[in-house]
Amino acid sequence: MALSLVPAAVRRGLAGRTLTIRSSLLRFPAVRAAVGLAVGFGAAAVTFLAVDRYGTDVDAELRVVVQEDLDHDGYCATIREGGRALRVADDAEGWRCGGFVNGMWSPVALDFEALCVWQFGTSALPRENTADGAFSTVCIVPG
């Protein structure tokens, strides 16, 4: 009698029912869960390694830094004597720079472009960060 290279359990499986990975996964839910977790964590690890190795910058020119803390009073003090920022409405258009001009109190609309340039440099631009509200305007600076 010759020694068989195929184990008896496999021979029985080949004789009647097919022993496949798919049938094992369907038959044993714990195995299916373990394989699913292994595949998920493996894909996450590959993603993290790829991002760590190659980064996420598609185009560095598109990166901007959002500056949210605007110095309304500081800017108004530069354009009016004793200047202060005032809100006359609860939206971005409601800001005024009030101050004295020739001894008279004279409020003017706050120029957000000039405010961004004054506070963050010549490349800064104003943008609406939220749909409405007095504090919705932010300055962005190309990174």
How would you write the pLDDT of the chain (143 residues) with one tens digit per residue?
455 555 665 555 555 555 566 666 667 778 778 888 899 999 999 888 888 787 766 555 556 677 778 899 999 999 888 889 988 888 778 889 988 888 888 889 999 999 999 998 888 888 887 766 777 888 888 76
82 and 30 inside one domain = no
* CB atoms closer than 10 angstroms to residue 95: 23
Whether residue 33 is contained in a domain is answered as yes
Whether residue 1 is contained in a domain is answered as no
13 and 36 inside one domain = yes
72 and 124 inside one domain = yes
Task: Find the domain containing 135 and state its range.
Answer: 65-142
69 and 113 inside one domain = yes
48 and 73 inside one domain = no
**Cα–Cα distance for residue pair 135/72, rounded to 1 Å:** 11
**Cα–Cα distance for residue pair 85/90, rounded to 1 Å:** 13
